[in-house]
A and B are shown apart, each in its own frame.
With several copies, the nearest count.
Chain A
Amino acid sequence: MVKKMNKQLIEDFPILDQKVNDERLVYLDNAATTQKPRAVIEAVANYYYHDNANVHRGVHTLAERATAQFEGVRKKVAHFINAPSEQEIIYTKGTTEALNWVAASYGRTFVKPGDEIVISYMEHHSNLVPWQILAKKNGATLKYIDLLSDGQLDIESAKKQITDKTAIVSVAHASNVLGVINPVAELAKIAHKHGAIMVVDGAQSTPHMKIDVQALDIDFFAFSGHKLMAPTGIGILWGKSELLEQMPPLEFGGEMIDWVQLQETTFKKAPWKFEGGTQNIAGVVGLGAAIDYLESIGMEKIESYEKSLIASILPELLKITGLEIYGPLDPAKRTGIISFNLKGLHPHDVATALDMEGVAIRAGHHCAQPLMEYLNVAATARASFYLYNTIEDGQRLVEAIRATKEFFKNGIV
């Protein structure tokens, strides 16, 4: 089934049907951004070809059509992550903006001097630097949860770090380096026990598994459209409405405004109060199409397909001598992200070599410099899989790594 599903799927992604350096492209940089199915690209184009107008205030027909689509996607997103209401769905530029807004609006309003903010060593800079800045501004302390030796979050360390002083716990649902899935529901319980709120960076989980913000019992959840087949420039912040109602807006102007006088202004309620200026309307339409596409397959099916893919590729990679893999080796505990290093070779050299073989991976610190330090590496190579990748893609990766080793064999040791 897995194979068949994939053969059909690939035809939906014209970009994959190309040669790079004379080899068929194998795109394994999905943790950075994903490719878009024809359905998404065409939804955006069709919006511009037929319905484009500014939303909300228009009285004319195109404006009504655009507004209906724009607000309709809010419902769709709410359903997609099982939010209780579409009025808790805020459009943002992406995960980074979403997390920054939580830190700058909720954080600056409610974090007091002496409070603690707890994150983990595996956070992406987008879920780290905003908290650093907040801690500095508000006189709070930023604390880090340790990792176990296989890269899993150390829940015992979490229990120690989260105390009655903790105001905010913020952790990635899935790591963009280690591929590990974190126990956010468990963390949320601990956080709530101490009166803290639980923020979840869903950038690397939402594309790959069914999200249920109510079952996780968390307070804020952020993700990016471009990592789940939607256009660039659109992301989501979900928050509990009790919290959203208490938060000040951050960008002023346009539809977020209720009433302006010369020296005073009142704002709409959430989600609109956060959406200053003309939004990325076509991006929203594309996000709706991407969710439709993913749901037409089914998030559970996507998750199990990716797990089976990883289960078949990991053992092949492990056979390569000198190859070290970061994160847990049990496919049940991880997503389709595999970070690795080849002994004696810098990941940049590996990535360049793989690119010559048509295999697109990433090399670097993956916006997780503290994690690199924690792992005691300068950088890693990272192959990240998605739904449209096949077992053959995994084989191409393995072969390309072997060829790379061979090429450099006589070079540096």
Chain B
Amino acid sequence: MGLSRLDNLYRQMILEHAAHPHHHGTLENAEHQLELRNPTCGDVLTVQVAMKEDKVSDVAFSGSGCTISQASASMMTDEVIGKTPAQIEQMVMTFSKMVTGDSKDNIDDILGDAAILEGVAQFPARIKCAMLAWKAIYQVIENSNDESSIGLMRHDEL
């Protein structure tokens, strides 16, 4: 079988996102920011958010990482713009269930293009990579009363 099974994980769209990530960089008008580390591999990811009328108006991410974490971050940024904190919370939960193989209910509706990361469920070691950016946006939203915050990703959470 060999590498052919990799196609389930590294779908073309994922490779493209990783090679040319969307919203990569920094925001000038960032109101909230969070840096997360994945202690397993040393990846650091910073997510910045601007809000308008209780919705995410802009988002950016920076930092290096593997194909999965970069693509996941890129897709996340595409999907969260214009969403309310409650909607984002639901997205993160849905994404988490999808990549841990718990449930695929409504993934296309709720996650949009990011539903393509469904294949991660077959690669348990990579769940953390896929989750990193979603975990970050979740914590940003949770802490959005604070001006800025810094946190540590732990492999055991979510």
Contact = CB atoms under 8 A, between A and B. Distances in A.
Interface string A33-73: 00000000000000000000000111110011001100000
A193 interface: no
Given A352-B9, A356-B2, A411-B10, A364 B41 contact: yes
Interface stretch (B88-96, B104-112, B124-132): B124-132
B2 A23 contact: yes
Q: Is the interface of A mostly helix, strand, loop or mixed?
A: mixed
Contacts, number: 109
Contacts of B68: 348-349
A356 B6 contact: yes
Nearest to B7: A407
Contacts of B65: 346, 378
Interface stretch (A99-107, A159-167, A265-273): A265-273
A412 B67 contact: yes
Contacts of B1: 21-23, 356
Interface residues of B, number: 32
Interface string A356-385: 111000011100010010000011000000
A353 B126 contact: no
Interface string A19-32: 00111000000000
A258 B154 contact: yes
A356 B154 contact: no
A349 B66 contact: yes
A412 to B, nearest CB: 4
A263 interface: no
Given A272-B156, A353-B3, 12 more contacts: A59-B126, A257-B39, A268-B39, A347-B41, A348-B66, A348-B68, A352-B9, A372-B42, A378-B44, A403-B3, A404-B3, A412-B19
Interface of A: 21-23, 56-60, 63-64, 67-68, 87, 257-259, 266, 268-269, 272, 345-349, 351-353, 355-358, 363-365, 369, 372, 378-379, 403-404, 407-408, 410-413
9 contacts: A56-B155, A68-B124, A259-B152, A345-B67, A348-B126, A349-B68, A353-B3, A353-B6, A407-B3
Interchain residue pairs A-B with the least CB separation, the first 6: A411-B15, A346-B66, A22-B1, A348-B66, A378-B42, A412-B19
